[in-house]
A and B are shown apart, each in its own frame.
Chain A
Amino acid sequence: MTAVEPQPVGEHRPATGTAVRRKEDTRLLTGRGRYVSDLVLPRMRHVTFVRSPIAHARLSAIDTTAALATEGVHTVFTGEHPAMRAVSLRARSALPGYVETDQPPLARGKVRFAGEAVAAVVADDRYLAEDGAEGVDVDYEPLAPTVCAWAVPTDPVHDEAPDNLLLSRTFRAGDAADALAQADVVVERELTTNRHGGNPIECRAGVARFDGADRRLTFWSGTQVPHLVRTQLAELLELPEGDVRVIAPDVGGGFGVKSVLYPEDVALCLMAIATPDTALKWVEDRVEHLLAATHARDHRYVLRAGFAADGELLAVTADVWCNTGAYSVYPWTAGIEPLMAGGLLTGPYKLSHYEATVRGVATNTSPSGPYRGVARPSTVFAMEALMDSGARALRMDPIALRRRNLILPADIPYKMPSRLVDDSGAYEACLDRAVEVFDVERWRAEQARRREAGERPIGIGVGIYNELTGLGRAASAGPRMPFRTGHDACTVRVNPDGRVTVFSGVTSQGQGLETTMAQVVADALGVAYDDVTVRYGDTDESLWGFGAFSSRQAVIGGGAAQLAGTDVRDKVLALAGALREVDVSDLDLRGGQVYVRGQEKPVIALAEVARVAYLQSDRLPEGFEPGLEGTKFYDPVRGAFAAGVQIAALEFDPVTGGTTILSWVCVEDAGTIVHPVIVDGQIAGAIAQGIGGAMYEHLVYDDVGNLTTGTLLDYLMPTAGEIPELTIDHVSTPAANPTGARGVGEGGTLAPNAVVAGALADALGVEVDDLPVTPARIWALLHGGADR
């Protein structure tokens, strides 16, 4: 785990597979990071949004007189401002029956959730802008709010959807009803999962500046998807795409929350266009973030599963409601959670008979969007709850029942009941390894001993999952949107001094992609890791990348980096061969030096080849163009499924409902690992967020749509005091892509719901149907009565 040491000339130690020092660390550790929140531009003004305190209301008059009279305030924008009036974010999908709805940059006509922005105040600094916001007087005529996705609305959220249903789809394979009728055992569960969210430590932030003379917009944004944002802004603002530049510098965490283009982002850009040559800055605070950044995982599952007497899973039926909140999230649509839920519910298990109806239902709550693991923390909880109930009904060991039904290497490629194709098959290998590392037998013995001795009970929980990573065009993320997210580009440029600059389409919110891309290119090209610099997150620098979501960047951005590096290596060798009159097939490039295979001394240095390519065209052989760079796209077409298993032992205190995690083991198949410490860091961080969702984090609305958990005193995220020491281990089956990597960004979040709920049932014999598993919930399950 130390930095690479300087290496002798010509030696090439592969960077892949080693824990090289992260390129981003020095600036982030010394307070020299470049976050949007830190950006200062000359004569910059600051924006504060005025947010609705009411969940559902008609907007009548907005009086801005007092605000405009406030010292330091320049302008106040509302939804009816000529700059705003005509613009709507409209998440599009060709899915049959999907109801398209509009989201205005600032509310128009009515407000649909508490926290929706109704006006924006521009002032000399943030304090003054907030003073101004207090002077904005809004008249609301309340309408009946709907908070619950399975309640019948009085006043619909959108007129276009009188029943609030924005989309519904049924997945069907085989004949589930018939198979249930034939089953020896049928179990039923009715589950809800808790609304929570990503909550990156840096909240949302943006700076927009419009150059009036050139009519060019620059938008600095803490976004995970700068190129997508550029395309969308160009469309929405009717600017040529080449005149929009989106820059995502250092970003303080994302987790999906920042893969959305928000109405505030669009409003900020529209205001910048309306006030040319003046930079406008918006930095969100945490209270706003909890209110108005996307939420996730507010779902209900009504489930039945049928098993044969030997444990074979015969059929699953599911009715699923996903609360999509007030707007169909742009650009991912209200389909993002329900379709993922229906598509991946059956997880790593073989199944022929499946019927699942999933719904996306609008309510007067903050919109739901992508959050690490999209829907699968809920579906893995649902599926594993069926497995645990099945094991109890069949009197089988829960691990044995799971093992009986896993997709095995011999089944690959396996067409899931939703017709997604699973290329993994590493579930049993992960399970075997997890059982061994965790030492199930030891914990079972300890469990028995405690029962005997009357000590505090412990339970063992299990979660097995498939993480769908690196989705290519055939498996593209999102529901039939107007774009397919299968590819990324990478440009590798050898500079005139022989050092290398990589212009990658990836983005990073902490995942260390700057480092990972440098490792991949260093090895593909044949140069030292320290000689590679990576640029990313700026649409004027990198050709194209869809950004960070669906655990895709190591696979797709890494694939493009590998291909581009190889392309440039070929160019270097061709030029070197021509310069030295050696056959190219005899040449090799290592550590920045070109060798004839089998010879100890290099024939030419990369730096000299580069010098010829840029500065000495008189030396360029016939047929060679100046310059030394290459650009490649990569699309894996399908995806790389990543298998994972988590097993944990938890201790419960029946008197207080308190829970202590005693041991937590995770085994994942990350394929070929580029940077072992970054990979384990992704897994550990994901598990911690999963544990947060399983045990602590809950965004709670009251019946009229007020968020009652609006600060970090009410919305609890786990700290070093709650997250235990985690044991992370691997099996490795390289994926069929240029780097062999499988994505690891999300897998860790998928199991903790299942693990915690499973452990509780195992310890105390009570099935928990509603998350999170809090002390109050445990106490209520054991002693009866309400849990809040």
Chain B
Amino acid sequence: MRITLTVNGTRHRLDVEPRRTLADALREDLGLTGTHLGCEHGVCGACTVLVDAEPARACLMFAVQADGSTVRTVEGLAAPDGTLDPLQEAFSTCHGLQCGACTPGMLMTATHLLEVEPAPDRERIRAEMAGHICRCTGYMGIVDAVESAARAVRAPS
């Protein structure tokens, strides 16, 4: 089936089988391998992308369901010159990542959280990020990172 997706600002026309997941369309057809697959059954959160500004599990969504949508992936976060966005920067300084497998999903959910709620407290951050599994960090660095990015966004220096 022919579909159109706008991914990180670029329009793509794709011909996909109806059973092809959005994750595979992004990773295999568009080469955007930043979106990771940790379970392929909707639990781990690694594949989270923003579809029309809402977090979605790209492993549970068929590419055809995203026809006409605007998709944001981890590759779209940094500025074109490579400058990291405040969340990415905070993940680095707060050691919110180790192996990086869960990180793209974490970043996308956190991006959404800070867009809808600029000043979440730690408990709120934990609740929001609880749809993701990180096997490396023990989560503290991730919570620290989201908290500190929220501060940085509110008070740009």
Give chain A's interface residues, CB within 8 Å of chain B: 1-3, 19, 21-22, 24-26, 28-33, 35, 37-38, 40, 125, 127, 198-203, 250-255, 285-287, 509-512, 677-678, 680-681, 684-689, 711-713, 717, 719-723, 725-726
Contacts and interface: CB of A to CB of B under 8 A. Distances in A.
A711 B130 CA distance: 18
B20 A127 contact: yes
A286 B41 contact: yes
Interface in B16-60: 17, 19-20, 27-28, 31-41, 43-44, 46
A38 B38 CA distance: 13
B5 interface: no
Contacts of B75: 30-32
Contacts of A199: 135
Given A32-B34, A37-B37, A726 B100 contact: no
A684 B96 CA distance: 11
Contact of A685 (B73, B92, B131, B137): B137
Contact of A201 (B27, B44, B142): B44
Contacts of A689: 135
Interface stretch (B63-71, B102-110, B111-119): B102-110
Contacts, number: 184
B135 A29 contact: no
17 contacts: A21-B93, A22-B95, A28-B99, A29-B74, A29-B84, A30-B88, A200-B99, A201-B36, A202-B36, A202-B38, A286-B41, A512-B98, A678-B95, A711-B39, A713-B43, A720-B130, A720-B134
Contact of A719 (B17, B97, B122, B139): B139
Nearest to A33: B100
Nearest to A721: B130
Nearest to B74: A31
A712 B138 contact: no
A66 to B, nearest CB: 19
B39 A252 contact: no
Interface in B135-152: 135-143
A723 B38 CA distance: 20
Interface of B: 17, 19-20, 27-28, 31-41, 43-44, 46, 73-75, 77-78, 82, 84, 88, 91-95, 97-104, 107, 122, 125-127, 129-143
A721 B126 contact: yes
Contacts of A253: 98-99, 101, 135-136
A-B interface, 8 closest residue pairs, ranked by CB to CB distance from nearest: A31-B34, A510-B99, A252-B101, A28-B100, A684-B138, A510-B98, A721-B130, A201-B101
Name the prevailing secondary structure of the B interface residues: loop
B93 A201 contact: no
Nearest to B19: A127
B99 A723 contact: no
A28 B103 contact: yes
Of the listed residues A255, A285, A719, the one surrounded by the most CB atoms of chain B closer than 10 A to its CB is A719
Contacts of B36: 35, 37, 201-202, 252
A685 B142 contact: no
Given A201-B46, A721-B130, A252 B100 contact: yes
A511 B100 CA distance: 11
A711 B88 contact: no
Contacts of B101: 35, 200-202, 252-253, 510
Nearest to B37: A37
Of the listed residues B41, B97, B101, B102, the one surrounded by the most CB atoms of chain A closer than 10 A to its CB is B101
B22 to A, nearest CB: 14
A703 B94 CA distance: 46
Nearest to A27: B100
A688 B139 contact: yes
A29 B131 contact: no
A511 B139 contact: no
Contacts of B28: 40, 125
Name the prevailing secondary structure of the A interface residues: loop
B92 A684 contact: no
A723 B125 CA distance: 13
B40 A22 contact: no
Nearest to B122: A725
Contact of B92 (A22, A40, A202, A286): A22
A312 B36 CA distance: 53
B93 A684 contact: no
B41 A712 contact: yes
A685 B74 CA distance: 23
A286 B40 contact: yes
Nearest to A290: B39
Contact of B140 (A251, A686, A712, A725): A725
Nearest to B78: A30
A201 B102 contact: yes
B131 A719 contact: yes
A681 B95 contact: yes
Nearest to A2: B93
Nearest to A683: B138
A31 B104 contact: yes
Given A29-B92, A719-B130, A721-B127, A726 B140 contact: yes
A29 B137 contact: no
Contact of B137 (A1, A684, A712): A684
Nearest to B43: A712
A28 B75 CA distance: 10
A687 B138 CA distance: 7
A720 B73 contact: no
Given A28-B100, A201-B101, A684 B41 contact: no
Given A31-B35, A202-B36, A711-B41, A720 B142 contact: yes
Given A22-B92, A712-B133, A29 B41 contact: no
Contacts of B46: 201
B98 A29 contact: no
B98 A287 contact: no
B133 A202 contact: no
Contacts of B130: 719-722
Given A252-B101, A684-B140, A726-B138, A31 B73 contact: yes
Contacts of A19: 95
A681 B91 CA distance: 13
A264 B119 CA distance: 48
Contacts of B126: 720-721
Of the listed residues A1, A127, A685, A688, the one surrounded by the most CB atoms of chain B closer than 10 A to its CB is A685
Contact of B99 (A29, A251, A677): A251
Contacts of A712: 39, 41, 43-44, 133
B33 A31 contact: yes
A29 B107 contact: yes
Given A31-B35, A202-B99, A677-B95, A720 B19 contact: no
Contacts of A719: 129-133, 139
A526 B96 CA distance: 30
Nearest to A676: B95
A22 B41 CA distance: 32
B134 A201 contact: yes
A39 B94 CA distance: 29
Contacts of B93: 1-3, 21
Contacts of B99: 28, 200-202, 250-254, 509-510
A29 B97 contact: yes
B40 A285 contact: yes
B84 A30 contact: yes
Contacts of A678: 95
Nearest to B34: A31
A287 B143 CA distance: 29
